[in-house]
């Protein structure tokens, strides 16, 4: 059953409301969120995603017919449904823009590669925003002096800037370093990058993901 079907979602909300009614301290607040705030937030996120998708499709005149045909297929509907589901859970605008890019590039092809596009969407769903930032970092060609690589680091210093792990590092620094290591480990686990111990490089699968999410 699709995760977007009303019966499935309504059942989950009903259960959550029933549980919230038994909570003496946060029950009323949770019930209010389930009634209004959460549905409205999800709706707004999907709207932003669809607006971004519409903007991207408006720029592919020669592929518009392919998009229309693919969107009317069962495979195309499934991809759009997955995109909207992920958008409803996406907080950052950048993530919704990248989702829109995946959908535009998937549905804008003459021959829809459904399994490939579904795989890209599945991988994207599992990656956090910092992990996507790291993946883009590895995809950029480093240069001496300023360039796209160094510019990307300056745009995301909290995620990409090296963190001290020496004996003088505070507990907070060590925790941030552990998180940073986990981001890289996730990319390795999904086969998006490979490492020889000293340097990290993109894999073909990683390059495919980058190709889909480029905005």
- What counts of helices (H) and strands (E) characterise the chain? 12, 2
Nearest to 127 by CA among 161, 99, 93: 99
Q: 194 by DSSP, 3-state: which? A: strand
Q: What is the pLDDT of residues 14-49, one digit of tens each?
A: 766 777 777 776 677 767 776 776 677 788 888 899
Strand ranges inside the chain, DSSP E: 193-195, 200-202
Q: What is the pLDDT of residues 168-215, one digit of tens each?
A: 889 889 899 999 999 999 999 999 999 987 889 999 999 999 999 987
- 34 is written with which tokens? 């389930």
Q: State the pLDDT at residue 2.
A: 44
Q: What is the pLDDT of residues 111-151, one digit of tens each?
A: 999 999 999 999 999 999 999 999 999 999 766 667 788 89
Q: Does domain 129-213 have CATH number 1.10.10?
A: yes
Ramachandran angles phi, psi of 194, nearest 5°: -135, 150
Spell out the domain ranges in the chain.
Answer: 6-126, 129-213
Residue with tokens 């021959």: 111
**DSSP state, 63?**
G
How many Cα atoms within 13 Å fall on the side-chain side of residue 21?
Answer: 7
- 178 is written with which tokens? 């552990």
Ramachandran angles phi, psi of 112, nearest 5°: -65, 120
Q: What is the pLDDT of residues 67-118, one digit of tens each?
A: 889 988 999 999 999 999 899 899 999 999 999 999 999 999 989 999 999 9
Q: What is the DSSP string of 69-104?
A: HHHTSHHHHHHHHHHHHHHHT--SHHHHHHHHHHHH
**DSSP state, 154?**
H
What is the Cα 142 distance to its own chain's centre?
Answer: 24
């Amino acid at each position: 059953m699709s995760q977007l079907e009303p019966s499935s979602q309504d059942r989950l909300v009903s259960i959550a409301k029933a549980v919230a009614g038994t909570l003496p301290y946060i029950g009323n607040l949770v019930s209010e969120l389930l009634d209004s705030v959460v549905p409205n937030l999800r709706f707004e996120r999907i709207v932003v995603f669809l607006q971004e998708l519409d903007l991207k499709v408006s720029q592919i005149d020669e592929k518009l017919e392919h998009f229309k045909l693919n969107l009317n297929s069962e495979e195309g509907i499934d991809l759009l449904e997955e995109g909207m589901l992920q958008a409803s859970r996406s907080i950052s605008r950048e993530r919704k823009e990248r989702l829109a890019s995946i959908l535009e590039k998937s549905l804008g092809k003459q021959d829809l590669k459904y399994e490939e596009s579904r795989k890209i969407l599945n991988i994207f769903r599992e990656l956090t925003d910092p992990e996507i930032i790291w993946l883009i970092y590895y995809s950029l060609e480093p240069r001496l002096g300023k360039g796209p690589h160094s510019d990307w680091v300056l745009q995301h210093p909290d995620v990409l800037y090296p963190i001290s792990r020496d004996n003088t590092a505070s507990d907070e620094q060590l925790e941030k370093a552990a998180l940073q290591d986990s981001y890289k480990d996730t990319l390795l686990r999904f086969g998006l990058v490979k490492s020889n111990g000293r340097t990290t490089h993109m894999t073909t699968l990683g390059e495919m993901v980058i190709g889909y999410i480029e905005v």
